[in-house]
Structure 1
Amino acid sequence: MQDSIQNTLRAYYDFWFSCNALYEKWAKRQGITVNTLFVIYTVNAYQETCNQRLICEKLMLPKQTVNTILEALTRKGIVEKKADPSDKRNKRIAFTKTGADYAGQLLKSLSAFEEKALGTMTQEEREAFTRTSQIMLARLEEALGTDS
């Protein structure tokens, strides 16, 4: 049984690393890093509440990495920091008009890339993929909670 679990883990890591490499390659073709891509994705997904802390938490990236990315995006006129109305000590991250246009096109292209891949799968395959991914996540959370 242990060999079977180790084989499953090897296949899981192969999938995970290969998937990450494909997103990195896609982002590079857009002239950005994968971390920049996912920061833009996160700013877009959490437009009303996005701040540096949320980005760090969602992407599991160090504060310094996120700060460097946000500074570069600010210099390019893609994002700006605004006072958070609910907490003046925090700065909300928002797209500029130019940034909203850029992010919209970038994320539309990303979605087309992902939909092209998912579109070749049957509905049952997509549901199975989602279901088993959610099961794996839940089991990892359980294992982490029971480990000392």
Structure 2
Amino acid sequence: MDKSKANAYSNEYLHIYFKLNAQYEAYAKSLGFSYSTLSALRIILEHNGRCTQKTICEYAFLPKQTVNAIVTGLLRHGIIRMSELDSDRRQKVIRFTDKGLEFAFEAIQKIKNAESKAMESLDESQRTAMLTAAKLYVSRLHDYLLE
């Protein structure tokens, strides 16, 4: 494949990636949050009782200051509470309040349901091809960035 055609495909893939993120951003805004805050809610939910600010930084690729601002906002809204880790008192584990758990579960479950329905709408060969190609693309991109 020539370089200009490869660039066109790369641009198209990037455009698709941005459109996907825009859908998550629009959903987050409909809830009154940013995409980063919605991502943090999902990470906290999926790390049930084992989530720290560091966990959110690592999974969402967000800087500490951003995560701190997100956590401060969630605390202010009564969505989460924090307590010291027994193993390291400098770190605090993030847990949902009852109100926060109900809200986060509903918000994240809607995303998961939509993701499942979208995946179910593809036939098996489409799902397999999409996932196989995406994994290979990510792996090769990683390798080429290290050159």
Q: TM-score, normalised by structure 2?
A: 0.91
Calculate percent identity across the aligned residue pairs: 31
Residue 51 of structure 2 aligns with an amino acid whose one-letter code is: C
1:97 Cα deviation after fit: 1.7
| Residue ranges of structure 1 left out of the alignment (5+ in a row) | none
Give the 3-state SS of the residue equivalent to 2:83 in structure 1: strand
Residue 59 of structure 1 aligns with an amino acid whose one-letter code is: A
1:135 aligns with 2:136: yes
1:82 aligns with 2:83: yes
1:100 alignment partner in structure 2: 101
1:31 alignment partner in structure 2: 32
RMSD over aligned Cα atoms: 1.4
2-structure distance, mates of 1:86, 1:103 = 27
Q: How many residues align?
A: 146
Report Cα offsets for 1:2-59 as digits up to 9, x if no partner. Answer: 0121011111111111111111112222222111110000111122431111211211
1:119 Cα deviation after fit: 2.4
2-structure distance, mates of 1:30, 1:20 = 16
2:124 alignment partner in structure 1: 123
1-structure distance, mates of 2:17, 2:117 = 19
Report Cα offsets for 1:112-143 as digits up to 9, x if no partner. Answer: 22223222211221122111111122112212
1-structure distance, mates of 2:115, 2:28 = 13
2-structure distance, mates of 1:47, 1:140 = 32
1:144 Cα deviation after fit: 2.7
- Residues 49 and 143 of structure 1, relative CA distance in 2, 3 Å threshold: farther
Q: TM-score, normalised by structure 1?
A: 0.91
1-structure distance, mates of 2:87, 2:129 = 41
2-structure distance, mates of 1:64, 1:145 = 28
